[in-house]
């Protein structure tokens, strides 16, 4: 319970600090730049995830196709 209390205090402190930083024009610019970097990172991660997911779904190893040529001879 003590850890949870510190977590809540930290989150609230972060919101208060962000509020004060956002009041200053330089702080607002810094937060906007940070937001742009985070957005770019998440967009890249999303694109990479979807590309990887597409490569997995397009491969015969996904179990969607039943091809006798890929089975071992003992399984025939």
**DSSP, res 63:** S
What is the tens place of the pLDDT at every residue in 41-59?
Answer: 999 999 999 999 999 988 5
Mention every residue, 6+ apart, whose C-beta is less than 8 A from residue 21: 27, 28, 30, 31
Q: CA separation (Å) from 56 to 34, 51, 52, 65?
A: 33, 9, 6, 13
User: 0.75 cut: is pTM over it?
Assistant: no
Q: Average pLDDT of the chain?
A: 84
């Amino acid at each position: 319970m003590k850890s949870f209390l510190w977590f809540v205090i930290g989150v609230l402190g972060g919101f208060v600090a962000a509020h004060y930083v956002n009041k200053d024009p330089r702080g607002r610019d810094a937060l906007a730049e940070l937001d742009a970097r985070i957005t770019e990172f998440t967009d890249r991660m999303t694109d990479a995830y979807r590309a990887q997911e597409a490569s997995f779904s397009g491969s015969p190893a996904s179990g969607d196709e039943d091809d006798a040529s890929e089975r071992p001879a003992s399984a025939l």
